[in-house]
Structure 1
Amino acid sequence: MLKKERHDYIMRQINLHNRVLTSDLVQLLSVSEDTIRRDLQELSDENRLYKVHGGALSRSYQSGFDDSEVYARDAKIVIARKAISLIKDGMMVLTGGGTSIIELAKLLPDNLHATFFTISPMVAIELAKYTNIEVVLIGGLYSKNSQVAYGGHVIAQLAEINADLCLLGTSAIDPEKGLTDTDWEINQLKKAMLTASKRTAVLCISEKLNTSLKLKVASLDNLSYMITELDSDVPELDPFRIGDLQIL
């Protein structure tokens, strides 16, 4: 595989999943670890990603306040507007982090009266701009990679919440393997968020459909809604019409 092809593949993976691991790329591309490290360094030098220990992070994932850096922003705005239709006055809403959730926070109605619990400082800052929204930032250890609070203290706080709706982004979703991710701590956090909510909506750009990562978060039958930028009746979504899962 040519270097440009490797770089294109790496960028697609990082834009879809927000981060990549060097060890995974070595296996997927069948090249040496030194080759992947050089590739990541070159892409970092071109300001296309952030190189970190053990892999790399998406620039859009790390730059939520800069709209120009958000990958597939138009699709995420469509998703955000659909998700907002689920939020009603008086609700208690629990959110994760990520660019799709930040886009949703920017688009909420000015007259919405609700309480939002969030593990993301960046989401909290956007929510704090609304007069009638009460914001509760759940704190704990801070993940520099995912930019959310995590750990046992966060999970203990989540156990005391009974939210009406949980809004989650995802790195990958598949009809058989469900929601998956690469980070053990973040997986445990997402599981706790699902348990702390009556209903859960997953916000997902269509490029992440039919993809999976190493660690399972939940099966599709644990979700209430799946929201993409696609029309809800397109054939591409048929494999996800499982049980009571509503597709928006």
Structure 2
Amino acid sequence: MLAAERRDHLLGLLTNEGKIIAKDVAADLGISEDSVRRDLRDLAAEGLCQRVYGGALPVSPAVAGYTARQAVAPDGKRKVAALAARLIRPGGAVILDGGTTALALARALPHELPCTVITHSPTIAAALLDHPRAELFLLGGRLFKHSAVTCGAAAVEAAQNVSADLCLLGVTGVHPEVGLTTGDADEAAMKRALASRAAETYILASSEKIGTASRFRVLPWQKITGLVTDAAPDDPVLAQLVCLGVEILRAG
């Protein structure tokens, strides 16, 4: 089989099966695992897959820059945001992550809702400036421009001095085996710090993130309360997550 044919075969596996297991592909095609791994390295370099131990998974489209991500699945993000906004109770305190889905959530909050919003995103804080009854706490640190959030040691330290009823967290990848992932190590550490300061943590993930993976793990499934998504009810990934005990809140 020619290299171009192997490439098409691998991409077909990602589309149809949602993953590539290198040893199985090698056995099916009668080639060495080294050859498969080289092909996967080439695909990963082009941003077409996310390599993991033993093979590869679909890469998340949410690893693009902040401006570009605003054009990715806007309807799905609005649906997820509308449902997630209902989790914030009057008088409650919420830690709100940054990113485009969280921004949609901030815009979906009732204008007169009395609440406390703790965030490390200046974009989120700015979106809530005209909410007269929302108390805002902005966590400082190094600004990670890719997602318009603060990260690093100073931001993590600031997060350790707050607490909330609820944390609403965005990720770029949602996969039953790999868990919840994102594309930057410092951002992943910040998300863990935020989640550790709330009584409950829900993950916000529009359908294009379901079944995909990024390089750095944020949290295992055991550390979250549930997942808010607009993915179809018959999505096989959701069925696997239910088997893992994950609560799914579906945004219709």
Q: Which range, TM-score by smaller chain?
A: 0.7 to 0.9
Q: Alpha carbons of 1:95 and 1:28: their partners in 2 closer, same or farther (altered >3 Å)?
A: farther
The CA distance in 2 between the partners of 1:31 and 1:206, in whole Å, is 23
User: How far has the Cα of 1:57 moved from its partner?
Assistant: 6.6
Cα RMSD for the two superposed structures: 2.8
CA distance in 2, matches of 1:95, 1:203: 11
Quote the Cα distance in structure 2 between the aligned partners of 1:85 and 1:150.
27
Amino acid at match of 1:218: L
Task: Report the counterpart of residue 62 of structure 1 in structure 2.
Answer: 67
TM (normalized to structure 2)?
0.72
Contact 1:224 1:244 in 2 (8 A): no
What is the identity, as a one-letter code, of the residue corresponding to 1:74?
D
Seen in structure 2, the aligned counterparts of structure 1 residues 32 and 209 have a Cα distance that, compared at 3 Å, is closer
Distance 1:32 1:195, change over 3 A: closer
Change (3 A) 1:63 1:139: farther
Q: Does the 8 Å contact 2:118/2:136 carry over to 1?
A: yes
What is the one-letter code of the residue matched to 1:241? V
Larger radius of gyration: 2
Pair 1:120-2:132 in alignment: no
- Counting only pairs closer than 5 Å after superposition, residues 1-248 of structure 1 correspond to structure 2 as 28=40, 30=42, 58=64, 61-62=66-67, 69-230=70-231, 233-236=233-236, 237-242=238-243, 245-248=246-249
Shift of 1:169: 0.9
Report runs of 4+ in structure 1 exceeding 6 Å deviation.
none
Superposition TM-score, scaled by structure 1 size: 0.73
Q: Cα distance, 1:120 vs. partner?
A: 0.5
Task: Label 1:188 to 1:57 Cα distance change in 2 as closer, same or farther (>3 A).
Answer: closer
CA distance in 2: counterparts of 1:115 and 1:160, whole angstroms = 15
Q: How many residues align?
A: 202
- Cα displacement (A) at 1:242: 4.8
Q: Runs of 5+ in structure 1 lacking a partner?
A: 10-25, 38-55
Larger CA deviation: 162-171 vs 222-231: 222-231
CA contact (8 A) 2:170 2:205 kept: yes
Contact 1:224 1:246 (8 Å CA) reproduced: yes
Identity of counterpart residues, as a percentage? 30
Superposed CA deviations along residues 24-75 of structure 1, whole A, max 9, x for unmatched, are xx97472797xx69xxxxxxxxxxxxxxxxxx9735x2278xxxx5311111
Task: Return the alpha-carbon distance in structure 1 between the equivalents of residues 63 and 83 of structure 2.
Answer: 27
Structure 2 unmatched ranges of 5 or more = 12-37, 48-61
